[in-house]
Amino acid sequence: MELAFIVAVPFLMALLIAITPLNRLITKDGRAWFAAIVMAALFLALLGYFPYIQAIDHEGQALSFISEWVPELGLSLSWYLDGLSLMFSLIVTGIGAAIFLYAGYYFDDEAEQSRFMMWLSAFAGAMLGLVLSGNLITLFIMWELTSVTSFMLIGFKGQKSAEARFGAQQAFMVTGGGALALILGFVILGAASGQMLGQAPVYELSEILKLHLHEHPYYTAFAVLIMIGAFSKSAQFPFHFWLPGAMEAPTPASAYLHSATMVKAGIYLLARLYPPMHEGALWSQALVFIGLTTMLLGAFFALTKRDLKGLLAYSTVSKLGAIVALIGLPEYEGLKAAFIGILAHALYKAALFLVAGTIDHNTGTRIIDKLGGLRKYMPAMTVVAIVSALSMAGLFPLFGFVAKELLIESFIETHIVGATVALAVVVLASTFTVTAGLIVIWDVFFKPPTEHIHYHQSSPILTAAPGLLALGTATFGILISIILYPLLDAAIPKEFKLYLIAPDFYNLLAFWLSTGAIAAGTVLFLLRRWWLPVFNLGFIPSGRQAFTGFINLIDWIGIQATRVQSGYVRYYLVTILGVVAFVVLSSGQLNDMARGDQLDLANVVIEGPTILRAALLILTIAAAFLATRARRHITAALALGVMGYAVAGIFLMEHAPDVALVNLLVETLTSVLIILMLGRLSERQRKQVMARLWQGRSMVGNINMGIFRDILIAAAVGISVFVFALTALVNRPEPADIAQGNFCVLDGVFIPRETDGVRSSIARYYLCNSYEEVGSEDVVGAIVSDYRGMDTLIEITVFSVAALGVLTLLSRGIQSSGRPFVPDERKVPDQGEYAQDVLEEIRTPENLNTPFTRMVSRIVLPAGFLLALTHIINGSHAPGDGFTAGAIAGLVTAVWFVIFGYDEARQRLGAFSPTRLLRVGLILVSINILMPILLDPANGALVGYVNYGKLLHIDGFLASFGLKLTSTLLFEIGVAMTVFGGFSVIMEYTAHPQSAAQVEDLDDTSTHTSLPEVEG
Partner 1 sequence: MTDLLFAMAVGILFAIGVFQLLRRDLIKAAMGFSMLFTAINLFILATGAYQGDVPPYTTNVEAGRAVSDPLVQALILTAVVVSFGSYALLLGLINIASRRYGSVDSDDISDLKR
Residues 660 to 719 in contact with partner 1, rule: CB under 8 A: 662-663, 666, 669-670, 673-674, 677-678, 680-682, 685-686, 688-690, 692-693, 696-697, 710-711, 713-715, 717-719
List binders of partner 1 among 811-870 (CB under 8 A).
812-813
Residues between 525 and 564 with contacts to partner 1, criterion CB under 8 A: 562
The DSSP H or E segment spanning 585 is helix 569-585
Which of 372, 466, 921, 982 touches partner 1 by CB under 8 A?
A: 982
User: Quick one: which of 160, 454, 655, 953 contacts partner 1 (CB under 8 A)?
Assistant: 655
Binding test (CB under 8 A) with partner 1, winner from 549, 735, 862, 1016: 735
Choose one: 121-129, 130-138, 257-265, 1005-1013; the region binding partner 1 (CB under 8 A): 1005-1013
Q: Does 573 contact partner 1 by CB under 8 A?
A: yes
Which segments of 829-915 are extended strands (E)?
Answer: none
**Cβ-count burial 121-137 (b if 16+ within 10 Å, e if not):** bbbbbbbbbbbbbbbbb
Residues in Cβ contact with 522 at an 8 Å cutoff, skipping those fewer than 6 apart: 434, 435, 438
Q: In the complex, what is the shortest distance from the CB of residue 534 to partner 1, in angstroms, rounded to a whole number?
A: 45
Backbone angles phi and psi of 102, in degrees to 5: -60, -45
If one asks whether residue 744 binds partner 1 (CB under 8 A), the answer comes out as: yes
State the minimum distance, in angstroms, from the CB of residue 785 to partner 1.
9
Check binding of 466 to partner 1 (CB under 8 A).
Answer: no
Name, in order, each residue with C-beta under 8 angstroms of 861's C-beta and a sequence gap of 6 or more. 892, 893, 895, 896
Residue closer to partner 1 (CB basis): 321 or 649 = 649
- Angle (CA) 294-299-301 rounded to 5° is 95
Contact 127, 92 (CB under 8 A): yes
Contact stretch for partner 1 (CB under 8 A) within 300-308, 463-471, 647-655, 858-866: 647-655
Judged by DSSP in three states, 822 sits in coil
Stretch near partner 1 under the rule CB under 8 A, chosen from 359-367, 656-664, 860-868, 952-960: 656-664
Q: State the nearest-atom distance from the C-beta of 775 to partner 1, in Å.
A: 10
Distances in Å between the Cα of 952 and the Cα atoms of 727, 924, 965 are 52, 18, 10
Could you say which of 728, 828, 856, 930 contacts partner 1 (CB under 8 A)? 728
Contact with partner 1 (CB under 8 A) among 17, 211, 440, 659: 659
Contact flags string 625-644 toward partner 1, x per CB under 8 A:
x-xx----x--xx--x--xx
Q: Is residue 594 a contact residue for partner 1 (CB under 8 A)?
A: no
Buried b (16+ CB within 10 A) or exposed e, 504-523: eeebeebbebbeebbebbbe
Distance of CA 14 to the CA centre of its chain: 12
Please tell me the distance from the alpha carbon of residue 444 to that of residue 447, in angstroms, as a whole number: 7
**Which residue, 8 or 736, has its beta carbon nearer to partner 1?**
736
Using the minimum distance from each CB to partner 1, give the nearer residue, 126 or 996.
996
Please identify, using beta-carbon distances, which residue of 195 and 731 lies nearer to partner 1: 731
Nearer to partner 1, 371 or 751 (CB): 751
CB of 920 to partner 1, least distance (A): 18
Q: Residue 266 or 649: which CB sits closer to partner 1? A: 649
Residue ranges in 234-272 assigned as alpha helix (H)? 242-245, 251-255, 263-272
Are 149 and 135 in contact by the 8 Å Cβ rule? The answer is no
Nearer to partner 1, 109 or 791 (CB): 791
Helix, strand or coil, per DSSP, at residue 472: helix
Instruction: CB nearer to partner 1: give 29 or 841.
Output: 841
Whether residue 231 contacts residue 290, with contact meaning beta carbons closer than 8 Å, is answered with yes
Minimum distance of partner 1 from residue 644's CB (angstroms):
7
| Cα–Cα distance, 266 to 185 (Å, whole number) | 14
- Per rule CB under 8 A, count of chain residues that contact partner 1: 141
Q: Which stretch binds partner 1 (CB under 8 A): 214-222, 476-484, 735-743, 850-858?
A: 735-743
Instruction: Please report how close the Cβ of residue 686 comes to partner 1 at its closest, in angstroms.
Output: 6
Residues 861-880 that bind partner 1 (CB under 8 A): 877, 879
Query: 831, 967, 980: which is closest to 891 by C-alpha?
Result: 980
Which of 726, 848, 942, 958 touches partner 1 (CB under 8 A)? Answer: 726
Helix (H) or strand (E) holding 770: helix 762-774
Burial 45-55, CB ≥16 within 10 A → b, else e: bbeebeeebee
CA-based nearest residue to 147, from 103, 183, 95: 183
**Alpha helices by DSSP H, 587-632:** 589-595, 608-629
Residue 568 or 957 having the CB closest to partner 1: 568
Among 390, 379, 355, 375, smallest CA distance to 448 is for 375
**Nearest CB to partner 1, comparing residues 187 and 656:** 656
936: contact with partner 1 by CB under 8 A: no
Stretch that binds partner 1, among 156-164, 428-436, 464-472, 732-740 (CB under 8 A): 732-740
Which CB sits closer to partner 1, 19 or 691? 691
Give least dist CB 630 to partner 1, A.
9
In eight-state DSSP terms, residue 146 is: H
Pick 451 or 791: Cβ nearer partner 1: 791
Q: Choose the binding region for partner 1 from 50-58, 89-97, 167-175, 736-744 (rule: CB under 8 A).
A: 736-744
- Tell me: does residue 86 bind partner 1 (CB under 8 A): no
Of 486 and 657, which CB lies nearer to partner 1 in the complex structure?
Answer: 657
Q: Does 739 bind partner 1 (CB under 8 A)?
A: yes
Q: Smallest distance, Å, CB 374 to partner 1?
A: 50
Which range in 401-409, 599-607, 919-927, 938-946 contacts partner 1 by CB under 8 A?
Answer: 599-607
d(CA 986, CA 894): 9
The CB-of-356 to partner 1 minimum distance in angstroms stands at 41
Stretch that binds partner 1, among 279-287, 340-348, 501-509, 571-579 (CB under 8 A): 571-579
Which candidate, 559, 399, 419, places its Cα nearest to that of 474?
A: 399
Q: Which residues pair with 68 in a beta bridge?
A: 76
Other Cβ atoms less than 10 A from the Cβ of 459: the count is 17
Dist. CA 567–CA 278, nearest whole Å: 54
Closest distance of CB 748 from partner 1, Å: 18
Q: Mark residues 877-916: x for contact with partner 1 by CB under 8 A, - for none.
A: x-x-x-x--xx-----------------------------
Q: What angle is formed at CA 307 by the lines to CA 303 and CA 313, rounded to 5 degrees?
A: 65
Phi, psi of 79 (to 5 degrees): -125, 150
CA atoms within 13 A on the CB side of 230: 31
Using an 8 Å Cβ cutoff, are 400 and 393 in contact? yes
Question: Which is nearer to partner 1, 840 or 1003 (by Cβ)?
Answer: 1003
44, 721, 749, 828: which one binds partner 1 (CB under 8 A):
721
CA 823 to chain centre: 38
Asked whether the beta carbons of 258 and 171 are under 8 A apart, the reply is no
- Which C-beta is closer to partner 1: that of 485 or that of 724? 724
Using CB under 8 A, pick the residue from 569, 700, 911, 938 that binds partner 1. Answer: 569
As a whole number of angstroms, the distance between CA 531 and CA 436 comes to: 13
Among 1, 55, 534, 604, binds partner 1 (CB under 8 A): 604
- Of 749-808, binders to partner 1 (CB under 8 A) are 761-764, 766-768, 770-771, 776-780, 782-784, 788, 791-792, 795-796, 798-799, 801-803, 805-806
For 919-941, the DSSP string reads HHHHHHHHHHHHHHHHH-TTT--
The per-residue DSSP string of 440-485 comes to HHIIIIISPPSS--------THHHHHHHHHHHHHHHHTTTHHHHHH
3-state secondary structure (DSSP) of residue 880: coil
